[in-house]
Each structure stands twice: as C-alpha cells, then as structure tokens.
Amino acid sequence: MTPYILVVAKWRDDVFAGLFFEGLPPDLRRHIRIAEFGREPLTTALAGAAAVIVMRHGLFSFGHLAASAGWARVPRYYFLDDNYMLLQEEPELYGSFWSKYSDAGVRRALSGFDGVLLGSPALRQYFADRALHPRLIDYPPIAWPILRTRTRGWARERGEPFRIAFFGGEHRRDLFATLVYPAAQRLAADRLVELVLVGIDPATLPPRAGNLRIVHLPYELRYGAALDTLARHNIDVLAHPTPSSRNNPYKNANVLINARAFGAVGVLSKLPPYDTLPAPAQAVLCDNDSQAWYDALTRLIRDPQLCADTFDRADRFCQAEFSGRPNADAIARMLAVHPAPDSMMRITRAVLAGPALGFDRALVRAKALLR
C-alpha cells in the first residue's frame, strides 16, 4: 500500500488545496490525499495515514479531528497562511469566529502536534517569537503553470477591449466597487474596456457608462477550474485591491501566481505584503484611491512594453519564490519519518477515532439539512 499523508480541508479543490499541494512533484503528489471535513468519511482515511495535516481554521472548527488523531497516535501537522491570532483581536472587522485563536489558545491546541506548516516567513517568525510550537516548517504556495501563452504579445487588435479581471474574496469586493470600478468607468470614456468579474453580481454595481462591458463569471470553488476559465477570457490586468489589516504583513504574494497563470499583469494596493516585494516591480502598485487606480491602468493601456516587462518579472519571481522546493522537502521528510501503519495499527486507529469522527460527520450533515 502506498503511504499517504491525509490533508483535511474545508473543500477538496479550493484555493488552499490547489496552491499548496497540487503543484508538488508527481512522485510526491501521489502520496497526498485531500478530504473534506464533515462531507466525506474520515475514519478509514485517518486510520491508514502516515500523517494528517489539519488545514487553516480546522484547528478549532473540525470537531474531534485533531483529538481523534491524537488518541489514535496519528502524527499531526497544522497548516496556516493567515495570522488568525491577530484577526481575533479585531472582532469589529472580522467577527467573533476567530475568538479561540489567541496565542495561548493556539499554543495549547498545538500541544502534541509534530509540526506546523506556515505560508510565509513573517508568519513563521510570529510563531517563533511567541513560542507557539517548537517545530516550524516553511510551506509557501506553489506556482501554477502559465495557462495562457500570449502569442501576439501585449498588442491588441483593433476593436479588442482592454480586459480587467477581479478574482478575489468577499473582503475585496467593496474596494473593487469604490476604487477599481470608477477607474474603469473613466477609462471607458474613450476606449473599449471589459471587466471580467468572478463572484460579483454586476447588478450590485453602479450603471455602466461609455464603452464599458461586463462579463460576469459565477464563483468557482475549484481553484484550477477558475484559473482555466480566466485564461480563456484573454485578461490583460488582474485588479487586486486590498483593505488595510494587521494581518497583511503575514500573508504571501500568491496573487502573482494567479495573474501569471492566466497571462495578466497584477495591479495591487500599495500595502503589505506587496509593498515589500523586491525591485524592479513584479506588479503595478497604487494607493487605495480611485485616481491612483485610474493612473495605473492608464499606464498599462498605453505601454505594452511595461506590461510585458512587468509580467516577465512576475514570472521569474514566481519561479524562484514559489518553486515548490521547500514544500517537496517538507512532504518528503514527513514520509521518511512517519511510515505507513500496518493492518493491526489501522484497525486500532479506526476503533479509537471512529466514534468521534462519525459523530462529527453526522452533526455537519444535520446542520446542512437544517440550513
């Protein structure tokens, strides 16, 4: 039986599973099994795993998973790419969902874990400074391949619009409406502009003006499928406005992976983590006001060479910083240290972990039915 590491996530094919595991070398990717907490049976999968990785908010939200793995003596790892410990200090912005993620609460919850995989150097330093766990492992995102090759470079045929995409979370939508959309309206006064919006209902935006067109794409949970769709829409710019947050410095610049994958230049807020990217710039940065976004987009429309140079720098940056080498090393070490359990151990684990995991799944399904 091929030894495997069980990754338990909220969704099987979402952005986090896609960014951090799909790009592993094939000889290591075959040792990864991704399962959805509460939607798929976990007892057998956990019992047979060499180790388990609990993803992101699952430290406190995945029922008895971490405890069950501990009872069954399955080696446990935790993965995080946001500073939830700071989010819980700003309930007025992020609500009470993160309230358990205090430094002391995380330190207690991670007791008995074999290691913590962290998505950025800043986040690793935060864990080290506060002694949240003794074994911290670098685990950055892994760059996806370039899905769209620009055979004609950055020149546009006559009558072809300049295409600006939005592909971000809910916390960016208000900023898009107040910063990027007005800038696009101004651009469309004398040229054809097309907005390709993922997850934003055009009906929620002000009326269109000038030569502005809008293509609405429904939100696609599957990360790879979303990138493929955007690659087919011939995007020129990925607009990625970012709200100010204490969490920003602890994030990584994976937006460059997205833009690079579907052949676009990133236009980003001049805020962490993007304002500390090395020069020369891998994206166009601008302040969070509509005039700055208009100026940035205008520069790119008028200067195809600027687009080409910026994209090439982003390509080189992603190949260097998001190569997947640290990830491959981490997974290879886990497999070397934690052998696959024998048949007797799998049976014992299933007996120990099964009841609590079965209860968790029944509870999740009951809540879904009530909703």
Distance of CA 101 to CAs 65, 113, 139, 221, 267, Å? 17, 16, 20, 26, 32
Question: Which single residue is written with the structure tokens 């994206």?
Answer: 283
The pLDDT assigned to 349 comes to 97
Same-domain check for residues 104 and 169: no
Same-domain check for residues 316 and 339: no
* Residue 245 placed within a domain: yes
d(CA 309, CA 315): 10
Dihedral of alpha carbons 280, 283, 288, 289, sign: positive
d(CA 201, CA 268): 22
- What's the pTM? 0.94
Same-domain check for residues 232 and 285: yes
Domain edge (last residue) among 287, 304, 321: 321
* Residue 315 placed within a domain: yes
* Number of domain units in the chain: 2
Same-domain check for residues 167 and 287: yes
Same-domain check for residues 179 and 268: yes
Same-domain check for residues 211 and 310: yes
Q: What SS3 state is found at 83?
A: coil
Same-domain check for residues 242 and 253: yes
Same-domain check for residues 297 and 328: no
d(CA 340, CA 145): 32
- Give mean pLDDT in consecutive 10-residue pieces for the chain, a chain of 371 residues: 94 92 96 94 96 96 96 98 92 80 97 98 98 98 94 84 92 90 94 93 82 91 94 96 92 96 97 93 96 97 95 97 98 97 97 94 85 72
The pLDDT assigned to 168 comes to 85
Extract the tokens encoding 97.
Answer: 């969902």
Q: Which domain holds residue 93?
A: 5-142+323-370
